[in-house]
Amino acid sequence: MTRLVLITGASAGIGEEFARQYAARGWDVAMTARRADRLSALARELEDRHKINTLSIAHDLATDGAVDAILAEIAAAGRHVDGLVNNAGYGLPGTFFNTSWPDQAAFLQVLLTAPLELAHKLLPGMADRGYGRIINVASLAGFTPGANGHTLYGPVKAALIKFSESIQAEAEAAGRNINCTALCPGFTYSEFHDVNGTRAQTEEMPKWLWMQAEPVVEAGIEAVERGRPVVVPGGVNKGLATLTKLMPDPIARGLMRQQSSRFRKTEV
Ligand SMILES: NC(=O)c1ccc[n+]([C@@H]2O[C@H](COP(=O)([O-])OP(=O)(O)OC[C@H]3O[C@@H](n4cnc5c(N)ncnc54)[C@H](OP(=O)(O)O)[C@@H]3O)[C@@H](O)[C@H]2O)c1
């Protein structure tokens, strides 16, 4: 049977590009996000262009039981998941003090708990079948010091990086042909900065800091195929990631404090 990849946040940006690239490689694609109309339109386009099968599953990952409902729809279609791309995400503007706990809890649910739950529920089947690919879309922010604003974004992305390293190590030890990669993009053209209200600020950032979604996704798929637990796409982003590691912590923290107003919002 043709392999099936489940992609969260496939209605826009990096997730949509994952759907396009997996479909072009001949994979069937199960796509989830809240905007059903976007998913259906993309599904029709990919089916026509690549003669693949798709599943469009509209759900809000912040709601209780969303992961089980998504997996139930896939099972009801008689399919199992060979690849998982944990991609859905957003930035929550504001500081920790001026945001509500329900908003922070929903953020943790969408960006951390749901990805971990999906991986936990899909890994046993992948191990039984002797094949699995998991890409967790993290961020350069997982390497840099905490910033003023969007407080939990960096911590959540750092957790996804460490989690991917662990899963890759555990899968290698088990010898079940399961690979897991944290994809760590820098600034990438998508709807991300429109949704979190930082578009006007980030438009001022130099163009050389930005990447299109296409090479970002290519780097993620290539890395997971090679069994690389972490990948930073693009030369500039690789340079920034290396610099962050080499820089003494106080200097990195000072730089982040000075620069974060260019891409974070502290007011809600
Ligand atoms: N763009 C960047 O500069 C950048 C840099 C580093 C990392 N990233 C990461 O890349 C990933 C994708 O972001 P993007 O840049 O492609 O942003 P995007 O264009 O805004 O796409 C975000 C996707 O996540 C989905 N999503 C958001 N909240 C959701 C929810 N509650 N339930 C289900 N789906 C939800 C959205 O779909 P619906 O609105 O239809 O639900 C959309 O498909 C994120 O994890 C982000 O942190 C982005």
Strands (E), the chain: 4-8, 28-33, 54-58, 83-86, 132-137, 178-183, 230-231
3-state secondary structure at position 181: strand
pLDDT tens sequence across 17-38: 999 999 999 999 999 999 999 9
Tell me whether residue 153 is one of the annotated catalytic residues: yes
Mutation probe of ligand 1 site: the residue of 21, 190, 196, 230 with most atoms within 8 A of C-beta: 190
Partner residues linked to 29 by β-bridges: 5, 54
Count the residues in the chain.
268
Q: Architecture of domain 4-262 in CATH?
A: 3-Layer(aba) Sandwich (3.40)
pLDDT tens sequence across 141-184: 999 999 999 999 999 999 999 999 999 999 999 999 999 999 99
pLDDT tens sequence across 228-258: 999 999 999 999 999 999 999 999 999 998 8
Nearest CA to ligand 1 atom 43: 9
3-state secondary structure at position 132: strand
Quote the tokens at residue 113. Answer: 């708990």
Sheet of strand 132-137: strand arrangement: 54-58, 28-33, 4-8, 83-86, 132-137, 178-183, 230-231
Domain parsing of the chain, residue ranges: 4-262
Distance 39 CA to ligand 1 centre (A): 14
262: pLDDT confidence band, cut at 50, 70 and 90? confident
CA atoms within 13 A on the CB side of 145: 18
